[in-house]
Amino acid sequence: MAIVVVSGSGRGAGKTVLVCGLIAALPEFAWVAVKVTTHAHSVLARIYEEPVAENSCAQGFDAGQQTDTARYLAAGAWRAFLVSALDSELDKRLSELRGLVGLEANLLFESNRVLRHVQPDVCLAIEADADAPRKPSFTLVERVKQATVRRAGFGAGDKVPGGAEPVFELTDFASIPESMQQWLRARLLPGARPEECLG
C-alpha cells in the first residue's frame, strides 16, 4: 500500500493537474484518487449526495464541465472519490473511505488538510507564485513534505544542494519527467533507495 498526498500553497496551484499527471505516469499503482474538500464545495456535495462518494464515470456532471474525480478517472485512476468533511469529521470520513477501498489500496490524495489524519509515504508540495495568497494549511505541508513541485522558471533545478528534499520544476504538471517518476517509485516501492534516483 502506498499513500501519496498532493498539496498546494494556494488555490489554482495545479493540484488536480499534478494528481492526473501522477496517475498517468505511475499506472502500475492502480491509484484510488481522492479529492478532499470542505462543505464549502456544497454544489459537489449535493451532486454526490453523500460525504464519501465514489465517481464511477469519467464524464463531468454537466456538459463541458468535468469534476476533479472525473478527471482522475480519465487519467487512468482505478477508482475516484470525493470526501466532503469539516476538520472535525475528516477522520471519520477517511475511515469510511478505507472501508470502501480496503487496506491494501494505493491512495493518492489531493488535499492539505488530510495530512492531519494520514502519514503519507510521499507528500508533494506545490509552491504557487510567490505573490499568490497562501493557505494557512500549507504551514503543515511545509513541515512534512518530501519534495517540492514548482512551475518551470523558479530556477531551482531538479535538486536542492546539500541533501535537502528535491525540487522538481515542471513545464507541464500533466507530464511527469522520468527523474521524478524514478524518485517516486524509489520512495514508494519496498527496499528502494530514493537518494539514488536524482544522482
Measured distance CA(8)–CA(15) in Å, rounded: 6
Q: How many helices (H) and strands (E) does the chain have?
A: 6, 8
Burial (CB count <10 Å: 0-12, 13-18, 19+), residue 112: buried
Measured CA to CA in angstroms, residue 27 lies from 33, 73, 76, 125, 175 at distances of 12, 12, 7, 21, 13
Domain membership of residue 196 (yes or no) is no
Domain membership of residue 164 (yes or no) is yes
Measured distance CA(33)–CA(114) in Å, rounded: 13
Radius of gyration for the chain, computed over Cα atoms and rounded to the nearest angstrom: 16
Domain membership of residue 25 (yes or no) is yes
Number of domains forming the structure of the chain:
1
pLDDT values of the chain reduced to their tens digit, one per residue, 199 residues: 999 999 988 777 899 999 999 999 999 999 999 999 986 554 555 555 678 889 887 666 554 457 899 999 999 999 999 999 888 999 999 999 999 999 999 999 999 999 999 999 999 999 887 666 778 778 888 899 999 999 887 554 455 444 568 999 999 999 999 999 999 999 998 755 444 444 3
Domain membership of residue 195 (yes or no) is no
Pairing outcome for strands 107-110 and 167-170? unpaired
Global confidence as pTM: 0.84
CATH no. for residue 139?
3.40.50.300
What residues make up the domain containing 62? 3-189
Closest CA to 153 of 180, 176, 130: 130
Measured distance CA(33)–CA(26) in Å, rounded: 12
Domain membership of residue 141 (yes or no) is yes
